[in-house]
Amino acid sequence: MWVTRIDRGYRARTTVRDASGALRHVERTRSSKGSARSAVLEAAAAITPKTAGALGASTEIQPWTRLVDVAEVWLAEKEASGRVRDQSMQQYRAVVKNQMLPLLGEVTLGDATTPLLDRTLKVLAETKNSRARILRQVLVGTLGLAVRHGVLKTNAASNTATVLTPKKQIEDYSVAEVRELLAHLRAVTAEGSLLEQQACQVVHVMAGTGLRVGEALGLSWDGVNLDADIPYVVVSRTVVTGTSTGTRLQDVPKTESSHRHLPIPDFVVTALRAANAAGLDGGEFGLVFPAVTGGKVRQPNGLRAKLKDLTLGTPFEKHATHIFRKSVATHVAREVGLTQASSLLGHNETGTTVKHYVRPEHEAPDVRTALEKLNGDTPN
């Protein structure tokens, strides 16, 4: 759309295709810039055909449609597909509301150029890197939808610079530290409440399996066999938070490879037997670690808070529960191998394990014997 100043006020012009596909030029003149723009949009809308929206409703998507409005259509399409987790949908919606609307609320599809979007993402990334990364995903999806509708020829968001996540140093516990922590928890919860003892049991399970806290809290007794020749647990559910329906069990794990059968060491068997002896009501899913009130899903944040209370005044109080997963990954990778560590954690490939979970070794291996051969025979 072009808006120019003329003697009588402002002239707004645009081009649009009618139902037959013919290109039509639309022009309106008004006393103010805003009214000229509104008039030409109204006239263009009367000419253009309507296209089917993501949910089958009659939805107009045109070059002058606001990005945020098309984003809502894209969100509805994603949700209707059934392939996106509730947590991801909540993150997308939050970014559209809290970042896209304030920063790009009046930008139309036709005005959404690569330089504009790139600048916006870079400014946002300076203070909210993770939000900028998700916003870029939303923009790429939104403009991709416009391309599929034939409104745009190219996706301007695809050519924006990737929002890089600052690399964080992988923190993990040493074997000695894990032993110290587990011994500490056993000591302080030995005569403690059910809630405290349960927290101790969950930590033992996480330390002996590498499970995420949500996966540990999602364990069901029908997926636990403590009497087999090789005792095991089956990971088939996880507890998720921040969804439209609150904290709940999610049958589909984070990835397909997350659905796995894990042999467990003796100290995990002991912790699970203690959990069974507590006799808590596991509800309809037979949860191993339900809320102590019985039958309900245990809140991950509640467990984290209790663990922090139990470790106050120790070197362990500042760390999040995810450190156990990284500690297990690093230990297993060192002792057995990277492939086994990746499989234990439920990753599709070892790259994820190396990048986010296994602390790198900075000491080079001792290969002096191999290197000495480069010098040939040396005199005695």
Write out pLDDT tens, residues 281-295.
999 899 999 998 877
Q: What would the mean pLDDT of 167-175 be, rounded to a whole number?
A: 78
Yes or no: domain 52-166 corresponds to CATH 3.30.1330.100? no
Q: Which of 363, 346, 201, 338 is nearest to 270 (CA)?
A: 201
Position 215 pLDDT exceeds 70? yes
Q: What would the mean pLDDT of 301-313 be, rounded to a whole number?
A: 92
The pLDDT value given to residue 345: 83
CATH 1.10.150.130-classified regions of the chain: 52-166
Position 53 pLDDT exceeds 50? no
Q: What would the mean pLDDT of 211-231 be, rounded to a whole number?
A: 93
Roughly how many angstroms between the first and final C-alpha of the chain, as a whole number?
86
The pLDDT value given to residue 15: 76
The pLDDT value given to residue 82: 76
pLDDT in tens, 308-364: 999 999 989 878 788 888 888 888 888 888 888 888 888 777 877 777 777 777 667
Q: Which of 265, 198, 259 is nearest to 226 (CA)?
A: 265
The pLDDT value given to residue 257: 60
The count of other CB atoms within 10 Å of the CB of residue 193 is 11
Q: What would the mean pLDDT of 83-111 be, rounded to a whole number?
A: 90
Percent of the chain with pLDDT over 90: 47
User: How far is 133 from 116, CA to CA, in rounded Å?
Assistant: 16
Q: Is there a contact between 155 and 113 (Cβ–Cβ < 8 Å)?
A: no
Of 178-182, 268-272, 347-351, 375-379, minimum mean pLDDT range:
375-379
The pLDDT value given to residue 242: 64
Which pTM does this prediction carry? 0.66
Domain 175-356 falls in which CATH fold? Answer: hpI Integrase; Chain A (1.10.443)
User: How far is 280 from 296, CA to CA, in rounded Å?
Assistant: 10
The pLDDT value given to residue 138: 97
Q: What would the mean pLDDT of 177-191 be, rounded to a whole number?
A: 94
Position 152 pLDDT exceeds 80? yes
Q: What would the mean pLDDT of 117-138 be, rounded to a whole number?
A: 95
Please give the angle made by the CA atoms of 52, 147 and 75, to the nearest 5 degrees: 60
CATH 1.10.443.10-classified regions of the chain: 175-356
